[in-house]
Structures are given as C-alpha cells and as structure tokens.
Copies of this chain bind each other. A is one copy, B any other.
Amino acid sequence: METSNNKRVTLPVEVGIDKVVQEMINKWGADAIRNSDGTELSKELMDMAVKVYTTYLTIRNDQAFARGHMDQLQMQYLMSKHNIALSNVLEIHILDGYFNRQFEIDKEHDWKRYWEVVDRTTGEVVDNKLWEFNEVKKTVIINGAKKWHRYTVSFLARQIWDTTHMYNHLTNNWTTPQHVAYDAFHKETREHIFSYLENWLRDNPSVDVVRFTTFFYHFTIAYNDKAKEKYVDWFGYSASVSPEAIDEFERVRGYKLRAEDFVDEGYYNSPFRIPSKNFLDWMDFIQQFVTENARKLVDLCHENGKEAMMFLGDNWIGTEPYGAYFKNIGLDAVVGSVGSGATLRMIADIPHVKYTEGRFLPYFFPDTFHEGGNPTKEAVENWVQARRAILRNPVDRMGYGGYLSLALKFPDFVDKVAEITEEFREIHNRIQGTKPYTPKFKVAILNAWGKLRSWQTNMVAHALWYKKIYSYVGVIECLSGMPVDVEFISFEDIKKKGISSDIGVIINAGDAGTAWSGGNYWLDEQVTGKIREWVYNGGGFIGIGEPTAYLHQGRYFQLADVLGVDREVGFTLSYTRHDEEFQGKHFILEDKEKDIDFGEGMSDIYRVLDNATILSMNRGDINLSVNEFGRGRAVYISGLPYTPENVRILYRAIYWSASKEKEIYNWYTSNNNTECSAYPEAGNAAIINNSNQVQNTTIYVDKDNYKDIELKPYEIKWMTI
C-alpha cells in the first residue's frame, strides 16, 4: 500500500511485527524494507508492496561449505610482538597477544617462504637458516640472534572466526556458533560462491535488491588475548592475503612481495602511512581481482531481474568506490553509514551507480534504545550534521538499521524520524537534481592518496572520534556542507599533471610524516616547485597542522616561504621571537564572535617571514596566520575541528586565499549558525539553522541584495529565487 508519498526511504524490519511494519511504512513514507545481518525477512514482509532488500553475505552464508573447506579460509598477515634477545637463542611465541579464537597459525604452507623474522634493531631480515618454527609450541626459535636486538616474526594466520561475526558476538552478545569466512581466491570457493548465489537468487524471488555485505575481503580487525579489539583499520588490506594470491601476484607482476610489504613494521599500511609502491601494487592487484569477481555476482543479480547494492563497509576491501576499477563492478547502488557530513559525501559522491543510500544514526540497538536513552536527540543531531552535506549533494535514499521493535518503544523518536524523512523528500523535490551554487574555483585537498580516499582523509575507523585526528577530520567535515566544489588530489597528480586550472585553493592538512601531510613528497622539487609557481601566480594555499612538513635544509615546513610560518623542532630556539598578534581587522575573522576552537592545535608555530600576519596566537604559538606570496595567498591554521564557527573561518580563509573576497556574498548568511544552499536552475534556495536555538540571520543573494529572516531551532527554510 505504498502511496505516492512513499519514496526514498528504507525501513529495517523484523519478522513477527508485520502489522506494525505496515504502519511504519506509511508513517515514514518508506518504499523499501530490509533485513540486517542477523535478522530474517518473512514471506509476509516480502510480499508487502514495497521494494525488498536482503542482506547477502558473500563469503560466509554457506557455513556447511566453509566447514568442509577449512583449507580455503581467509587469512591475515600478523606480526608478533617485539622480543628482545637476552641470549643468542631467542624463542618467540608468535601468536602471543592475539585472540586464539580468531586466529590459528597457518602450518599448511611453507613458512620459510611466506614468513619473515626481522631484526628490528637493524631492519635486516634474519637468514631463514637461522630460525625454526616449532609447530607444537607455536614458537619461532632464532639461533644466532644478536644479544639485545629486538626481533619480530611476520606470519600468516588462518581466520577461524569471521571478523564481522566475531565482532557481533563479542559486542552484541550473539551466541550462535562461530562462523568462518572462505577466500574467493581459491577457484573451488569462488565457483561455489557463484553457484550458491545463483541458487539463492532462484530461491528468493521476492527479493528486489541484493544488498552485498560486501564482497570478498574484510577490512583489518584483530582481537587481543583478552578478546578485546587489538587493532582495527577500516582501510586495511591485511586480510586480503593468502599464499595463493601472493604467488599469483608474483606471476603476473613479476616480483615477489615480502611479508614486510603487508606487515609494514607493524603499521600494516595504515592509511596514515605514505603508501609504498609494493603496497599500491598489491592494492591494485586485489582491486582487480575483487572488482572482476564482484562483477560476476552483480551480473547474476541482473540476470535474475534484481538490483545489486553494495554496503560500503565490512568486506569492502578492493571495491574502493573512488578507485580505478569500481565502475567495472556495474553496481546499481551503494549504501553506507552516515556518521557525519563527510561520510554522507563519501557515499553521495560515489560515481558509476544509479543511486546511493545513507544509513542514518542511531542504530536501533540497545546501546541507545534503552530506558533513559535519548534516541530522538541523536537522530536529530545526526540528521542536522548530515543535512548540510545533503544540500551539497544528496544521497538518493535514506534508511535506518537495527531492530525496529526497539525503535517502536520510543514514539517520540518515531514521530521525529517521520519529520526527518519528510524533510529529506522535500529537499529532493526542491533541488530537482540540480547543482547548487558554488564559486567558479574548486578547493583541492592534497595528500598522498588523492581521489582514492575522497572524504576519507585523516580518518582512522569510519567516522569515529579520535583525539589525534578530530582537528583534521574537521576540515573535510566543514567542507562537506560548504558551498564549494571539493576535489581530492595526490602528489603524484601534481607531479604528472600539474595543478588543474579550475582549482582555486589547495588545502594540505595533517601531521608531519603522514600520508595526509605528505612526508618526503615535500622533498620533491616537482611538488614544491609546481605549488610555489601556482601560488605565486594567484593560487590559494591553506596549511593545517603540520602542512608541507619534512625537516630538510633549515626548514620543517618546506613551504614556509609560502605559509610564512614554520614549526620549532628545537633547532631555532636561538632565534629571538618577535611574533605579535595583528590588532587590525581581517577578512577571515569578520564573522568571529568568540575564541576560535583550534582543537588539539599545534605547538611551537612561529613566524619565519616578517610579512606574515598573525591573526591568532596562544602562549607565543601561532594558531592562525596569513601570508602573501607573489599574487597568491596562504593561510596557516593549527587545527580545525568541526564547529559552526570553524566552518565560517575556513569558508572565509578559502575566499581570502583565492583572492575572491568580493564574491563571498553570493548566497551568504550573516549568522555562523546558519548556511545557505542555492539552486539557481531549480529556482530554490535553502537556509538552514544548524543549531538548537532560534537564529536571526541576514541572507545575502549578493553583496547588495539581502534580507533578514528568523529560523526556528534546526529549521530549514526554502525561498524561491
């Protein structure tokens, strides 16, 4: 009984509450229902006149097969703890510190071929003849170890518990038997995966959308010996490995990867690392494998008249939506979790799909939906933070996840979501698929990853808050809802193609040495030269945290001459500081009403050029400064967590550095808590209040045309233009 108003919304459902489900479909205007991992759809539910999504777990839905093919389970490359040699014989318990229900040492393959013992004092690999693996004791014994050196063993482990299943077990107290995941790299497994899907598609005619969660390889998660998370890397490739894949890589790429290429000193190629050539080659290899075979699954769906949707999470490794091979998968849709504006854009901006869908928070889980919990507040805050990004580029659909029965206990929440879904549809009706107004210049985020990690810069786990990163993640969060076009570019892009003429401002934000700041890319004369030239000729450069940082030839910030500031590492303390805060007015600070929140900030930033202007200092350290370089301009900011005020600081810094101050009044609002998105082609403009207070703001069509309006808490107001 879908009405004409039912669209763009997906409802998570459970069996046993069919009647309520129907009510909820009407209430939220849903046109699709879905199950979650661990819940089932009944025939009755599937027969309701809405689109039906079903979660499909490619590599573990046939546990009978899995148990019969334990030699084809997924693996991970692991590194042992660091061990100090107290004598010339050192015995290392290689699994020490890992969770023995998750991992089992791989004893089936030639460990001398795939493992490595490394002297971490020198970085040298220990000669294979000097160590032995004791299968009974599960130890590696090094003979001829150098006393007081530290050693690690890198080895392959079979994953005897599927990562997501384990997570849910340990987090949500599941009690089902331990599921294992098979590796599609094995031909037999791969063929089984295809035939199993074929059968499943035939057996599930009511399903309209196969929601793959996801394809073949889970991101890296390892648990410790206390059954707690040891490390988690949402971008990690450590679980995409097997001896067979490594051998195949050698065959097609012409060289053999080392264990170290995966283990990476224990950093496991974290996205904060500047990626090595070998790791990039491996990613490319896995991406080709994953996309080729995912394509076959998608084709099967299509052949059976169903859509194929990918969940951007769990086993998403190799499918990177901004990567070179993603389009080959031929997906109809991608759905992903929306934790913020940046994650909204991460989904909404995905190319080569018919539609995108955001799964909004909170999950209908007991951590929020318990007595005393306030899911309504969470839902509103999540919605409002995402809304400003939606106004820049909307996901096509929205939905929620978890147990509907839990949500139903909070009528207040149910009503609020009805409002939100209505507001979401209204946005689509007003925008009509047109592009919002943006200035003519683009803003580029520059780092070692570029486009591949669009809207994923400086992130550790997906959208989680970390003390060390929130002052950088704030940058993309601010940008996610800002009226500017954003592009993610890499140092290699600049080296190969230069800086595209439509870019007006480049932002480099991150800690020294990370892929986000750029590390030794800043020693590359091509990189520094092309950026200097571009800024000198009028470009804008914004550095946040430790931009352009690499200690070399008297400078820590290699573009200190552009930025006007540098960071003290101790070697220039003998230079007397004469830094003083500028006392005049500056364009960037025109809307400033209170002290700026620089988040963690950055200590010991000082001025190296007399002409640089310091806009904010604290205890002698610069937090915000500007400098001119030729006809171009640069801004330094010590950190930029997401706040309404910081959106404004960055917005103004962008216009100032691009030397486009005069144009800022196009669709501008005077009040920091409000923003405007205009859709000239659709003849509409939205003014939003991001705060929980009534706000008065002047809305500018341009410098000379404006009017005052009042917005209720969190209100969105539309005006015809």
Interface residues, chain A, CB within 8 Å of chain B? 82, 84, 86, 97, 118, 120-123, 146-150, 152, 220, 228-233, 236, 265-268, 270, 272-273, 460-461, 466-469, 510-511, 513-514, 525, 528-530, 532-533, 536, 551-555, 560-561, 568-576, 578, 600, 603-604, 610, 619-621, 630
If over half of A's interface residues share one DSSP class (helix, strand or loop), that class is named, otherwise mixed; here it is: loop
- Give the residue name and chain of the B residue nearest to A551 (CB): B513
> How far in angstroms is the closest Cβ of chain B from A124?
10
* Bound-state Cα–Cα, A551 to B273, Å: 13
- Residues of chain B within 8 A of A553, CB atoms compared: 118, 120-121, 123, 265
- Give the residue name and chain of the B residue nearest to A118 (CB): B553
- Give the residue name and chain of the B residue nearest to A572 (CB): B267
Q: Is the CB of B236 within 8 A of A570?
A: no
* Bound-state Cα–Cα, A576 to B234, Å: 13
- Residues of chain B within 8 A of A220, CB atoms compared: 574
* Bound-state Cα–Cα, A97 to B530, Å: 28
Q: Is the CB of A265 within 8 A of B554?
A: yes
Contact of A573 among B460, B513, B552 (CB under 8 A): B460
* Bound-state Cα–Cα, A268 to B575, Å: 10
> How far in angstroms is the closest Cβ of chain B from A328?
29
29 A-B pairs (CB sep. < 8 Å): A82-B555, A86-B630, A118-B553, A120-B554, A120-B555, A121-B529, A122-B525, A123-B552, A147-B533, A148-B529, A148-B532, A149-B525, A149-B529, A152-B554, A220-B574, A229-B576, A231-B572, A232-B574, A233-B574, A267-B572, A270-B571, A270-B574, A460-B573, A466-B573, A467-B620, A468-B570, A468-B604, A469-B573, A510-B570
* Bound-state Cα–Cα, A32 to B108, Å: 88
Q: Is the CB of B561 within 8 A of A150?
A: yes
> How far in angstroms is the closest Cβ of chain B from A530?
8
> How far in angstroms is the closest Cβ of chain B from A699?
39
Contact of A536 among B86, B146, B569 (CB under 8 A): B86
The 5 closest A-B CB pairs, nearest first, are A265-B554, A148-B529, A120-B553, A233-B574, A266-B554
Residue of A118, A146, A270 with highest tally of chain B CB at under 10 A:
A270
Q: Is the CB of A576 within 8 A of B525?
A: no
Residue of A530, A568, A569, A570 with highest tally of chain B CB at under 10 A:
A570
Known contacts A152-B554, A553-B123, A576-B228; is A570 also within 8 Å of B86 by CB? no
- Residues of chain B within 8 A of A466, CB atoms compared: 573
Contact of A576 among B121, B231, B630 (CB under 8 A): B231
* Bound-state Cα–Cα, A231 to B514, Å: 32
